[in-house]
Amino acid sequence: MKTGLRGAFFPLLLATVTVSGCTTTSSGKTALGGSASGGLSGPGAYITALQGGLVSRNTATQLSKADMQRALEAEYRALEAAPGGQPVVWQGKGVSGSVVAAAPYQVGSQNCRQYSHTLTVEGRETATRGAACRNPEGAWTPLS
């Protein structure tokens, strides 16, 4: 039986989600662990490659360093492993967010995804939309 890319991808995705500290809630959303690092050691190259992500473009609120870390990790996880349309949610101090990536698509030889990041502060939601492509080093880089 031929497994192909799909057969090889699912075990990798499962391992990534298991190791990363994500859980799926009863509503079908992927939630991040409670620590600021979400089980990762420091801000890492993938966070740097996001160049502040969509969350930094949202002018609705200034996030603390810990909340910014949670938000960027959610963006990375949505781009890296979440199925198209499935929210990756995060909770901070007085703020929460939800990142939804669309299905991947190709631009030349690069894998890309459109995505949105919705912030909720004091019951008010603001959304920012954009796209990112995987760079040659394997990290996600936003499109300008």
Euclidean distance between CA atoms 19 and 40, whole angstroms:
9
pTM: 0.69
Cα 101 to Cα 40: distance, rounded to the nearest angstrom? 21
pLDDT band at 36 (very low <50, low <70, confident <90, very high): very low
Query: Which tens digit of pLDDT belongs to each residue from 70-93?
Result: 999 999 999 999 999 999 999 999
Domain that holds residue 91: 4-142
Which two three-digit tokens encode residue 97? Answer: 């967010």
75 against 45, higher pLDDT:
75
pLDDT over 70 percentage in the chain: 69
Helices and strands: H and E segment counts in the chain: 3, 8
How many Å separate Cα 58 from the centre of its chain?
A: 15
The yes-or-no verdict on residue 33 having pLDDT over 70 is: no
**CA dihedral sign of residues 100, 141, 91, 129:** negative
Cα–Cα distance for residue pair 9/58, rounded to 1 Å: 33
Element (DSSP H or E) covering residue 11: helix 4-20
Count the domains in the chain. 1
User: What's the one-letter identity of residue 83?
Assistant: P
The residue that leads in pLDDT, 51 or 59, is 51
- pLDDT confidence tier of residue 59, bands split at 50, 70 and 90: confident
Backbone angles phi, psi at 74, to 5 degrees: -65, -40
Tell me, what's the pLDDT at 60?
A: 74
Length of the chain: 144
pLDDT (tens digit per residue) in 4-20: 443 433 333 333 333 33
